[in-house]
Amino acid sequence: EAGVVQSPRYKIIEKKQPVAFWCNPISGHNTLYWYLQNLGQGPELLIRYENEEAVDDSQLPKDRFSAERLKGVDSTLKIQPAELGDSAVYLCASSFGQETDTQYFGPGTRLTVL
Amino acid sequence: GESVGLHLPTLSVQEGDNSIINCAYSNSASDYFIWYKQESGKGPQFIIDIRSNMDKRQGQRVTVLLNKTVKHLSLQIAATQPGDSAVYFCAENRGEREKLTFGTGTRLTIIP
C-alpha cells in the first residue's frame, strides 16, 4: 500500500515569491494534517481536515498561508508571499479519523526561502 | 506554558546494547502518548503508543513505560541496531481529538 505522497520534495524560492505544496493521503484516510517542522524541533500542526472540511486551522497564519482539500482527498498548502522565516519542512499526514488512530506521515517538502 | 519535553537532546549507544529515551510531559489531561522515529530526510514513523490507563506496553524490541505520578514517559529499545539511529519524538494527545503535541526530540546514535 502506498504511503502519504508529497511533492515537491525540495523547493528553493526567493522571498516574496509564492509556493505550493501538494499531498496525497493514504487511500481511505478521511483526516489529513499539515505540519510545520523547524530544524531540530518536533512537528507543529498547521491545519487538520476531516474530509473536505478544515476543522482545526487555529495555528495557520492566515495572512499568508492557505490550504484546500476540495474533493476530500488531495490537499494543497500555499504560502504567498513567502518570508525567510518560512524555511522549514512541511509535513503532511493522514489517518482514518478516529481519536487515537495512527497518523502516517509523508516524507515532507523542505522549503528554503532565500 | 505546558509542554512536552525531552531530558536529553542526544544519546549514543553501543550496537547491541539497550537504550532508553525519556520524555517529560506536564499536562495531566493527556490521555494518549505516542513515540515516533524520524530518520534523516523522512517523515516521522509511528513506533508505539500507550493510553493513560496503562503503565507499560511492549512491541517488537521496544517498550514504552508511562509513569503518571511524575508525568514521565520512556521508550526502551532492546538490542539496538544501526538502523535505530534516528531522532525520536514523544507526542501527546491532550484530550483534543486527534491533535498531537510533539516534543523537541532526542537524537539516538548507534555506535557500531
Reported as a single tens digit per residue, the pLDDT across B35-90 is: 999 999 999 999 999 999 999 999 999 999 999 999 999 999 999 999 999 999 99
Question: In degrees to the nearest 10, what's the CA dihedral of A70, B45, A109, A5?
Answer: -50
Q: Are B48 and B32 in contact (CB under 8 A)?
A: no
Size of interface A-B (CB pairs under 8 A): 54
Residue B30: phi and psi, rounded to 5, are -65, 130
Domain harbouring B54, CATH code: 2.60.40.10
Domain that holds residue B93: 4-111
Question: What CA–CA distance (Å, rounded) separates B38 from B16?
Answer: 20
Question: Would you identify the CATH topology of the domain A5-97?
Answer: Immunoglobulin-like (2.60.40)
Question: What CA–CA distance (Å, rounded) separates B76 from B107?
Answer: 14
User: Which residues from B are below 8 Å from A101, CB to CB?
Assistant: 98
Q: Cell numbers of A53, please?
A: 472540511
User: What are the domain boundaries of chain A?
Assistant: 5-97
Name the domain count of chain B: 1
State how far residue A74 is from chain B, nearest Cα, in angstroms.
18
State how far residue A107 is from chain B, nearest Cα, in angstroms.
4
Residues B15-40 have a mean pLDDT of 92
